């Protein structure tokens, strides 16, 4: 499986999804352009997430703590923990993301990309989409 989804300053290339692993995992490569960030910090209570740095440096905020992830480094995000990311560097940052079990799939990202490409994003529709797929937006800090 190879399914590439572009939206904003993010590119996701799905390598495996819940659909071809019987729900075991979702695995995708994510490239963040400079100044890219997760639009809405969130948590999920149905899966854990592991992020492995492939190139560049991304900064992940996990449970309020900032962690830089570079090539060969990784972070584990337990379900229920609020997290987000940004790329503060001058070049792209790439990481491998693994969600276990695989319950998200590429469809969520396709829907969010469509919302973001429609001009000014509608926060209510973004929140509804996130909740429908099991992502819970974090309250503002």
Handedness of CA 124, 138, 44, 69 (dihedral sign): positive
**Span 10-40, pLDDT tens digits:** 999 999 999 999 999 999 999 999 999 887 8
Helix (H, G, I), strand (E, B) or coil at 25: coil
The pLDDT score that the predictor gives to residue 73 is 98
Any idea what DSSP says for residue 13? E
The pLDDT score that the predictor gives to residue 1 is 54
Tell me if 42 sits within 8 A of 135, measured CB to CB: yes
Q: pTM of the entire structure?
A: 0.92
* Residue matched to tokens 């490569």: 29
**Span 84-93, pLDDT tens digits:** 999 999 999 9
The pLDDT score that the predictor gives to residue 60 is 97
Any idea what DSSP says for residue 139? P
Instruction: Tally Cβ neighbours within 10 Å of residue 89.
Output: 16
pLDDT band at 3 (very low <50, low <70, confident <90, very high): confident
Q: For residue 5, which of 117, 92, 128 has the smallest C-alpha distance? A: 117
Query: Domains plus CATH for the chain?
Result: 3-137 (2.60.120.10)
pLDDT band at 2 (very low <50, low <70, confident <90, very high): low
The pLDDT score that the predictor gives to residue 122 is 85
**Span 41-85, pLDDT tens digits:** 999 999 999 999 999 999 999 999 999 999 999 999 999 999 999
The pLDDT score that the predictor gives to residue 141 is 61
* Residue matched to tokens 């926060």: 123
Tell me if 57 sits within 8 A of 69, measured CB to CB: yes
Question: In this predicted model, which residue has the larger pLDDT, 140 or 93?
Answer: 93
Percent of the chain, pLDDT > 70? Answer: 97
């Amino acid at each position: 499986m190879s399914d590439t989804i572009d939206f904003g300053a993010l590119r996701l290339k799905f390598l495996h999804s819940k659909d071809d692993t019987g729900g075991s995992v979702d695995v995708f490569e994510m490239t963040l352009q400079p100044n890219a960030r997760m639009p809405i910090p969130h948590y999920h209570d149905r899966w854990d997430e592991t992020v492995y740095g492939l190139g560049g440096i991304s900064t992940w905020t996990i449970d309020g703590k900032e962690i830089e992830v570079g090539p060969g480094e990784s972070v584990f995000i337990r379900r229920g923990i609020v997290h987000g990311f940004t790329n503060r560097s001058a070049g792209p940052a790439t990481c491998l993301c693994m969600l276990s079990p695989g319950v998200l799939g590429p469809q969520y990202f396709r829907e969010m990309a469509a919302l973001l490409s429609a001009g000014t994003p509608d926060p209510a529709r973004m929140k509804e989409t996130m909740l429908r797929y099991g992502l819970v937006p974090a309250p503002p800090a």
